[in-house]
Amino acid sequence: MTRYPHLRRTAALLLILGLSACAHWPGAGLTKTEVNRNDVSLRAALAYARTAESFDAATYARELKTLGAQGDAPMAVIQRALLQGQDRDEANPARAVALLESLLADDSADAAVFHPLARILHAQYAARVRLLAHNEKLVVEQREARAAADILKQKLDALTDIERSLHAPASVPMEVPQ
């Protein structure tokens, strides 16, 4: 090694150059996985999410209908998911989860732009769906517990009424003849 001191550096440089050339090889990345900071589509989706929060019920319904007519274009799917995932009575977070799953399954370059956002939203909406289901279960249990408590209260009231209807015991104990 002392004979060729620059051989190690030259080999490392050639290895780095070779690997960087492979990264730029045509067809190396069939789908776009990185999101560029200046990606207009992603920024437009985020801007849409901000404006969609202020929709009233009529605008919300009209927008859902309009987006439904646009088909399965990735931008329309993410917008529908953003609408369905909102915290309002008309929204359906389970539907939003299904829309996001279909977007994540789409391997096209247009859909890949939205994959990072879709993964984040999917996790949040799936958690909300689980919490809503758990809440419904707790509401049912609460209703059943109230019904059981009402039945027990009725039984206790009936026992109290029976007790009151009985004659009071004699104040002086009766002597029993022997």
Which tokens belong to 6?
A: 């620059």
53 phi/psi in degrees, rounded to 5: -65, -25
**pLDDT tens for residues 100-109?**
999 999 999 8
Mean pLDDT of 26-46: 65
Does the pLDDT value for residue 7 go beyond 80? no
Nearest to 45 by CA among 75, 70, 68, 86: 75
Which tokens belong to 143?
A: 């209703």
Confidence class for position 66, pLDDT limits 50, 70, 90? very high
Task: State the residue for tokens 């998911």.
Answer: 81
- The answer to whether the CB of 98 falls within 8 A of the CB of 77 is no
Mean pLDDT of 80-99: 92
Cα–Cα dist 13/32, whole Å: 28
Which tokens belong to 34?
A: 């990185």
Predicted TM-score of the model (pTM): 0.64
List the domain boundaries for the chain: 30-128
